[in-house]
Amino acid sequence: MIDKKKIAILTTVANFELYKKTATIFPENIDKIVIDGTTGLYGLNSIDFMFQKLKNKKYEWIIMVDEDVFFYDSNIVFDLIDHMDKNDYQICGVRDGGVIKHRFHNPEAINTFFSIINLKKLAKEYNFDLVKGHQKFIPEIYNNKDYSFLKYNYDIRSLKEPYYCFYFWALLNNFKILYLDTINPVKDDQTGNIILDVNGNKIAFHSWYARAYQVYEDQTIRIDSFLNEFQIQAASLNMTNVIVFKKRFFNWKKRLLGIIKKSIKK
């Protein structure tokens, strides 16, 4: 079993109110890390920021998980990491096409709501500029791939999420991806999905729409029902025990860069 001191769980948080509840049932006895996403830092930029902050730290494995993920049994994820280590997988997660009804995008890319990466191995090759160059349709990724088992629609040409390039880069650099199965819909809920491990055990439930919590009434009521189901409606994590990374003025700098690029094109 991997030393838990070498594992951390990282969340790019857009909704701290929700995070303080769901993080109380995150896997135990590992460091909790937060990237503050309230200023627009998320997706590919968040992945890059993670490498900047953690590549020379003690961590070998990073569990990337959104704040709208509810763990059933926090110990199962450690068995999954052990399986990845023994079978030389560097990334695992759920496809963003073909397995969730409302995610009909690229089946070779993972949706970052839940992913485990071997940070130590990936960091040796990681280069942000090289990664960004892979945000395009690359035919060789799909050669000799059979997608007939996928139950929902997908699109191998989809570039829906700007972070797809990270997974394309990983595939073309011979990093192995373990694609996890998932259940969707879940009972009467058409949106949420259950993440399964390689043995079909339930790892966690993903509600989606974290940003809408306590903003839009319908999604607030819906997510509150899951908080009640997992008995964490009244829970509140002590944030003093969480490592928080912030990129000051990120949103301002992003807007300024956009203005500069527009002015150059004129």
Q: For residue 266, is pLDDT > 50? A: yes
Q: What is the mean pLDDT of residues 41-60?
A: 96
Give the gyration radius of the chain's Cα atoms.
18
Question: What is the C-alpha separation between 264 and 170, in angstroms, rounded?
Answer: 33
* Residue 265's pLDDT band (cuts 50, 70, 90): low
102 vs 261 pLDDT, higher one: 102
pLDDT for 107 equals: 98
Q: In what order do the strands lie in the sheet with 61-65?
A: 177-180, 91-95, 110-118, 61-65, 7-13, 31-36, 243-245
pLDDT for 252 equals: 54
